[in-house]
Structure 1
């Protein structure tokens, strides 16, 4: 995947608070490009991540596989918990050749054969998508990688699950902090 040169003014942060208190926290070695989420007309519903050195433009940071990760916050109560399972997610992406769809308690993951190169120029068509429940919201996750990357296979699914765990854990911590502040304000 020919990634564009990182902007020297790119703002690499570890996490970014999105709509509804969802915290887009990057997995180890990756950073959120805060400048991509703060421009005019761009809502705080989407966070884009890549390796920290790529986002910051400094050429330093952990040596992690090249990837573009996204976190997208959906509206409140779009679907109930029981409505999103591996079969439903695979059906939603039927035109992209779903395979390896797996569901868990609050996360559903699917590997797709097509479309990654349309979302990120130079990426492999094969990519990973997921849906995570964070409170009353559905959060869409995606991992796009270069053609030939080891992350095209099962390791890409592992990275998506790491991203989901980071978002879930950070969002729970943020909610608990808000609850503590609310309890002490009253």
Structure 2
């Protein structure tokens, strides 16, 4: 079996967003962690997910299940899903993140569930169906604080993916807790593979 080839269960929207190459393997090895915000934040992936290096910017990253990005042994039973991570600099006097404030800021959608852990708030939302065909209108989104940076999160999946259920909230919380811990630890070496061939 060609481990880099997308399986039939991965819909066109997942293929496009995760960078899966239909006819071949992923062109660059995925990452488990990477520096963002000019090195001031270290993003650490949750279990079974990897960071698509081709998506990386100083303030944005896309994560997908590791086997869809070329690491066949890294999925660990994780659900098919896509995670987006965005960073913004938060002023020192910014109000704390609360579920009430996040719900008030929703421009569309109904909140189905919520989780609050430390200074992270996660909402399960049923809203407008995403533009990417095949992705469910139900998803998780959230926000958290890592040092001076506010992190916006979302996880998307198909209607039959565990990513849109309670597991999706757990996955985002794990990402935040790992990233927070690493942000408080001096980074001496980052697990970033070279982007050019040897």
Task: State the TM-score, normalized to the length of structure 1.
Answer: 0.79
Deviates most, 22-31 or 163-172:
163-172
SS of the residue aligned with 1:64? coil
Q: Does 1:130 align with 2:142?
A: yes
Unmatched tracts of structure 2, length 5 or more: 1-9, 190-198
Say which of 26, 46, 62 aligns to 1:27: 46
Q: Does 1:103 align with 2:103?
A: no
Identify if the C-alpha distance between structure 1 residues 96 and 16 changes in structure 2 by more than 3 Å, giving closer, same or farther. Answer: same
Quote how far apart the aligned CAs of 1:51 are: 1.1
Aligned to 1:162: 174
Whole-Å Cα distance in 2 between the matches of residues 144 and 91 of structure 1? 21
Note if contact 1:73-1:140 (Cα within 8 Å) is conserved in structure 2.
yes
Whole-Å Cα distance in 2 between the matches of residues 116 and 22 of structure 1? 32
Task: State the TM-score, normalized to the length of structure 2.
Answer: 0.75
Aligned counterparts, 1:175-186, within 5 A: none
Q: CA-to-partner distance for each residue in 1:93-134, whole Å, 9 max, x for gaps? A: 14122232343431011111014623x442111000111110
Aligned counterparts, 1:7-156, within 5 A: 7=21, 8-19=26-37, 21-37=40-56, 43-56=57-70, 59-62=72-75, 63-77=77-91, 80-82=94-96, 84-115=97-128, 117-118=130-131, 120-156=132-168
Whole-Å Cα distance in 2 between the matches of residues 33 and 122 of structure 1? 20
Aligned to 1:184: none
Identify if the C-alpha distance between structure 1 residues 143 and 79 changes in structure 2 by more than 3 Å, giving closer, same or farther. Answer: farther
Quote how far apart the aligned CAs of 1:140 are: 0.5
Whole-Å Cα distance in 2 between the matches of residues 108 and 6 of structure 1? 30
Identify if the C-alpha distance between structure 1 residues 174 and 155 changes in structure 2 by more than 3 Å, giving closer, same or farther. Answer: same
Unmatched tracts of structure 1, length 5 or more: 38-42, 179-186
Identify if the C-alpha distance between structure 1 residues 115 and 174 changes in structure 2 by more than 3 Å, giving closer, same or farther. Answer: farther
Note if contact 1:90-1:101 (Cα within 8 Å) is conserved in structure 2.
no
